Amino acid sequence: MEIKSTQFDMTNPFAPLQQRVHQVETVLRQMPSAQREQLLVEMLPPMPMHCTAPAIEPAVTMVTVKVDEWDGGPVVQQRYPTAVLRPRRIVGYIPWQWRWIVAGIRLTRIVRKSAKQQMKQFNKLRRQMIRRVLPRRNAMRGARAR
C-alpha cells in the first residue's frame, strides 16, 4: 500500500478535503449534462427565495430621557444587607497518621523559630562580650579603645 506524502503534510489542514472536492468536480464534468443536473437537484436542497431576517441590522441609538419627578434619592431601599453564603470546608475523618504528620510539621516550625531567636540573642551577647574586652589597637566600631 502506497502512502502519499501529502497525507501527513499539515501545512494545509484542508488539503484532503480540497482533493476530495476536486475529484468530485472532475467526475461531475465527465457526466452528461442532463444526468449532472438531475444529480445536483437530488443532492442539493432548494434555496429559499426570501430571507426573513435582514442581512444588515440597523444601528442602535441610545436616547436619554429626562425624568422630572425623581429627586435623585435611592431607588430601592434594602431592609437587610445582602447575605453572602460562603461554602464551608467539610471536615471529614482524618487518620491518626496525618494528625501526627501535621503535628510534626507544626512542632518543626515552632522549634526553628525558637532556635532562630536564641541564635540572635546569643550572637548579640557574644558581640557585647567582645566589645567589653577592649583591644589596644583597632577597636570594634562603637567600642572605646584603651
Question: Is 127 inside a domain boundary?
Answer: yes
Assign 138 a pLDDT band (cuts: 50, 70, 90): low
Instruction: Give the containing element (helix H, strand E) for 93.
Output: none
Average pLDDT, the chain: 79
- Is 124 within a domain? yes
Is 135 in a helix, a strand, or coil?
Answer: coil
Decide if 68 is inside a domain. Answer: no
The boundaries of the domain holding residue 22 are: 13-45
Q: Residue 134 in contact with residue 145, Cβ under 8 Å?
A: yes
- pLDDT tens per residue across span 3-61: 666 556 667 777 888 888 889 888 888 888 888 888 878 877 666 665 566 667 777 78
The three cell numbers of residue 9 are: 503534510
Please tell me the distance from the alpha carbon of residue 89 to that of residue 137, in angstroms, as a whole number.
Answer: 66
Number of domains composing the chain:
2
Report yes or no on 70 lying in a domain: no
Residue 21 lies in a domain: yes
Is 7 domain-assigned? no
pLDDT at 119: 97
